[in-house]
Amino acid sequence: MELVGFYLRYARRYLHWGLLALAGIVVFGVATLAFIGLIHPMFEEVLLATEEEIQDVAVGGLGGGGEEGDGPVARLFEPIESYAASLKAAAGDLYDDLKRWAGIEGRSEVFFAPVLIVLVLLLRSLMAFLSGYSFQRAGLGVTTDIRNDLYRHIIHQSSRFHQRYTSGELYSRVVSDVSKLQNAVAARLFDIFMSIAMLLFYGATLLTIHFTLAVVSLFAVPLFAFLLARFGKGMRKVTYRSQERMADLSGLLTEGIRGNRVVKAFGMEEFECGRFERATRGHLLANLRAQFLATLSSPVIESTAAVGGAALVISAGLMIRDGRLTFPDFVQFLVVLLMMYDPIRKLNKVNLVLQEAVACSHRIHNLMQVESEIVDRPTAPPVSGLEEGVRFEEVSFDYEETGHGKSVLSGIDLDLRRGEVVALVGPSGAGKSTLVNLLPRFFDPGSGHVRIDGTDIRDLPVANLRSLIGIVTQETVLFNDTVRNNIAYGRDDLPLEKVRMAAAAAYADDFIMAMPEGYDTVIGEGGQNLSGGQRQRLAIARALLKNAPILILDEATSHLDTESEVVVQRAIYNLMEGRTALVIAHRLSTVVRADRIAVLDRGVLVEEGTHEQLLELGGAYKRLYDLQFHD
């Protein structure tokens, strides 16, 4: 029921399309019955066939039940059969009224029934199009909204969430799972409703032809429902496993493509191909199980129908011999019964696709139920700038959500005054990056507070908080777009002059203008057409253009050669000018100009002071300095 509520939330937006589709199906069904009813006057009025000839071809009107016995079962069905007979009579009266209204008599009867059949078939075709398109519109709209909301849910999650779920798995949910759901909802939902509606119409027709025989036939319905449910349950399980294997494939594919250089450098192409082949083998086995069930379902359903058909023929033969059924009525009954085969066959196929969609729906729903730990519940008004500074108060953090894991940070107290540059140093794993990630709320501390101008950052709107912070990291993230759009990132309204000013301050304007199309040059995925130093300068230009009062520099020069580092360092000095900066660097030569240096070791702030003060102290900073400059 939880899954039903999940979909109803989206389906409400397209209720009008759904109602239009259902109305089209109802009119389609009525037109189908009208077509069947018009076959009798076609023979009688157009072809001038006798009643005996009509019975011989067994395509008469909607009924004409044979002589029933006077047994208790027959007496039980008499009221219903009487009602069915009145319906048939009403249909005949309606046809006669139409003829009188149209003034049809004599030779003009040759035209009336054929024209009416054409009009009915045209109406039937129109309703098939209308209902089919309406279901497609509603289904595609629902699944598109789900995909958009799923991506929005993922993109707003905390960094802890993205550590738990691989990019390949998330890609599989957004692309593969939603695609299967889309195929079921948009392409097959129409078949479900149309098939069910037609089965109801055909079932009603069978009851009007011969009620007793119809009741005998419909005893097979629970058996068909049981078989559909069994195959559906099995399909749902194997589809879930198949989609899990698809997530593994997506993860391996993403890693192999992103780490292609490392793979080649270590000569691990065949190793990666082996990993991928093992994953595809698992996916193949899951798919084969699904295909086994899908292929087996049709023969089982058809075999069951054949057994039921044989039982029906035997029952009909006995009724004919007892005088309770005429042969023409039975043929008419059999024709309509055969017409029911197509919707039953469609329902079987749709059921299998639907179960695939249900399995994917559970995966999508489960992911969307994961609540983000970064909750935007602002209780303080937005701030426009930094007046006093940033303060970390007794901040502790660990990556285990329970709070019982190994502490990455423990009791950190650190002030960052306005306009001050504070450098964070320490060995790898000391908690430097974790500490700066708390400031833009990529994570929230387990205990303690991070404050801006005395206000806890959790009380500020997240968008407002992050607008105050510019970030340049060692892993430069650029997009497969133009240079201009990478620097302006999401701000198409900015004039080129402002973009160029930021690029010039980042020492990037010269190499950009040397590109074939200047600022309109597409730089490739991840900026692969640029050098490391060029990519970093574009990231600095982006931060300059954002013009945020607080700046985070996380190993911004660690991957650069000496020449590139000099240029990037000059760009960083331009970026830091007039801003409050928190700088992480392993190379101590890049932090000696900081106003203060904070030394972290195993998640604890062990020393704080200027470069000279820390050297005189002779503690952890002095040891790090000696390791770098006196080896």
State the CATH number of the domain containing residue 463. Answer: 3.40.50.300
- Beta carbons of 247 and 168 less than 8 angstroms apart: yes
Residues 197 and 76 in one domain: yes
Query: Are the C-beta atoms of 367 and 195 separated by less than 8 Å?
Result: no
Q: Residue 96 has what pLDDT?
A: 65
DSSP string, 209-270: H-HHHHHHHHTTHHHHHHHHHHHHHHHHHHHHHHHHHHHHHHHHHHHHHHTHHHHHHTT-HH
Query: Cα 195–200–203 angle (5° rounding)?
Result: 120
The predicted model gives 269-293 an average pLDDT of 79
Which residue range(s) make up the domain with 470?
389-629
Domain containing 68 — which CATH number? 1.20.1560.10
Residue 523 — φ and ψ, nearest 5°?
-95, 0
Distances (CA, A) of 507 to 251, 286, 291, 591, 626: 37, 54, 59, 21, 33
Confidence band of 299 (pLDDT split at 50, 70, 90): confident
Q: Is the pLDDT of residue 30 over 80?
A: yes
More confident site: 4 or 104? 4
DSSP H or E run through 25: helix 15-41
Whole-number percent of the chain with pLDDT over 70:
77
- Can you tell me the distance from the alpha carbon of 13 to that of 141, in angstroms, rounded to the nearest whole number? 9
What is the arithmetic mean of pLDDT over 479-495? 85
User: What are the tens digits of pLDDT across the range 367-397?
Assistant: 888 888 888 877 878 888 888 899 999 999 9
State how far the Cα of 580 lies from the Cα of 15, in Å rounded to an integer. 53
Tell me whether strands 389-397 and 409-417 are parallel, antiparallel or unpaired. Answer: antiparallel
The pLDDT of 58-75, averaged and rounded, is 41
- Put the strands of the sheet holding 596-601 in their side by side order: 469-473, 550-554, 580-584, 421-425, 596-601, 604-609
Look at residues 195, 602, 153 and name the one whose alpha carbon lies nearest to residue 411. 602
**Burial of 561 per CB tally in 10 Å (0-12, 13-18, 19+):** exposed
The reported pLDDT for the residue numbered 67 is 42
384 lies in a domain? no
Q: With contact defined as beta carbons under 8 Å apart, do 555 and 584 qualify?
A: yes
- Residues 153 and 497: their CA atoms lie apart, in Å, by 36
Tell me: do 570 and 620 sit in the same domain.
Answer: yes
pLDDT band at 74 (very low <50, low <70, confident <90, very high): very low
Indicate whether 503 belongs to any domain: yes
Closest CA relative to residue 298, chosen from 363, 234, 351: 351
5-34: burial string, b at 16+ Cβ within 10 Å, e else: ebeeebbeebeebbebbeebbebbbebbbb
CA 393 to CA 121: how far, in whole Å?
A: 77
Identify whether residues 483 and 514 lie together within a single domain.
Answer: yes
Exposure of 216 by Cβ count < 10 A (0-12 exposed, 13-18 middle, 19+ buried)? middle
Residue 413's pLDDT is what? 93
pLDDT for 88: 55
Whether residue 394 is found in the same domain as residue 363: no
> Which tokens sit at 86?
């009145």
- Same domain, residue pair 355 and 415: no
Range in 247-261, 279-293, 406-420 the model is least confident about: 247-261
Asked which of 333, 368, 403 is the last residue of a domain, the reply is: 368
Of 368, 400, 420, the residue that ends a domain is: 368
pLDDT digits (tens, 9 = 90+) for 152-186: 888 888 878 887 887 777 888 888 888 888 877 77
**Are 299 and 446 found together in one domain?**
no
360 and 456 both lie in a single domain: no
Q: What CA–CA distance (Å, rounded) separates 397 from 260?
A: 34
Mean pLDDT of 140-147: 88
Q: Give how far the C-alpha of residue 74 lies from the chain's centroid of Cα atoms, to the nearest Å.
A: 55
Is the same domain home to 356 and 447?
no
| Cα–Cα nearest to 580, from 540, 549, 554 | 549
pLDDT computed for residue 110 by the predictor:
67
Out of 103-117, 231-245, 514-528, the most confident range is 514-528
Q: CA-to-CA distance for 445 and 397, rounded, in angstroms? A: 5
Label residue 383 exposed, middle or buried (CB < 10 Å: 0-12, 13-18, 19+).
middle
Query: What's the pLDDT band for 72 if we cut at 50, 70, 90?
Result: very low
Same domain? For 296 and 396 the reply is: no
pLDDT band per the 50, 70, 90 thresholds, residue 561? low
Quote the mean pLDDT of the chain. Answer: 78
| Whether 195 contacts 224, CB under 8 Å | no
DSSP state of 514: T
What tens digit of pLDDT does each residue of 440-472 get?
998 888 889 999 998 999 999 988 898 899 888
The lowest-confidence range among 87-101, 373-387, 459-473, 609-623 is: 87-101
Instruction: Tell me the pLDDT tens digit for each residue of 185-216.
Output: 776 777 888 888 888 888 877 777 777 777 77
Residues 6+ apart with CB under 8 A from 610: 594, 595, 596, 597
* Distance, CA of 434 to CA of 446 (rounded, Å): 12
- For residues 237 and 353, membership in a common domain is answered with yes
Q: How would you write 203-216 as a 3-class SS string? A: HHHHHHHCHHHHHH
209 within a domain of the structure (yes/no):
yes
User: Whole-prediction pTM value?
Assistant: 0.68
Residue 92: pLDDT above 70? Answer: no
Place of tokens 């890609």: 171
- 409 versus 524: which is more confidently predicted? 409
> How many domains are there within the chain?
2
**SS3 state of residue 414:** strand
Q: Are residues 337 and 467 in the same domain?
A: no
Strand 447-452 vs strand 389-397: parallel, antiparallel, or unpaired? antiparallel
Q: Is residue 146 part of a domain?
A: no
Bridge partners of 552? Answer: 471, 582
For residues 204 and 201, give the distance between their C-alpha atoms in angstroms, rounded to a whole number: 5
pLDDT band (50, 70, 90) for residue 87: low
What's the rounded mean pLDDT across residues 420-432? 88
Percent of the chain with pLDDT over 90: 9
CA–CA dist 572, 154 (Å, integer): 32
Whether residue 610 lies inside any domain: the answer is yes
Does the residue 559 lie in any domain? yes
pLDDT, average across residues 323-349: 73
Residue partners of 283: CB distance under 8 A and separation at least 6:
242, 245, 246, 248, 249
With 60 as the cut, is the pLDDT of residue 112 above it?
yes
| Residues 6+ positions from 374 with CB-CB distance below 8 Å | 156, 157, 158, 441, 442, 443, 444, 462
Residues 508 and 362 in one domain: no
Q: What is the predicted pLDDT for the residue at 137?
A: 86
Q: What is the pLDDT of residue 451?
A: 93
For residue 315, the model assigns a pLDDT of 76
Q: Which residues contact 205 (CB under 8 A, 6 or more apart)?
A: 33, 36, 62, 336
Q: Is residue 376 situated within a structural domain?
A: no
Q: Tell me, rounded to whole angstroms, the distance of Cα 243 from its chain centroid.
A: 13
pLDDT score, position 93: 61
Report how far apart, in Å, the C-alpha atoms of 596 and of each of 427, 572, 611 are.
18, 17, 7
Per-residue pLDDT tens over the stretch 564-603: 667 777 787 777 888 888 988 776 766 777 889 999 988 8
Q: Is residue 599 a part of any domain in this protein? A: yes
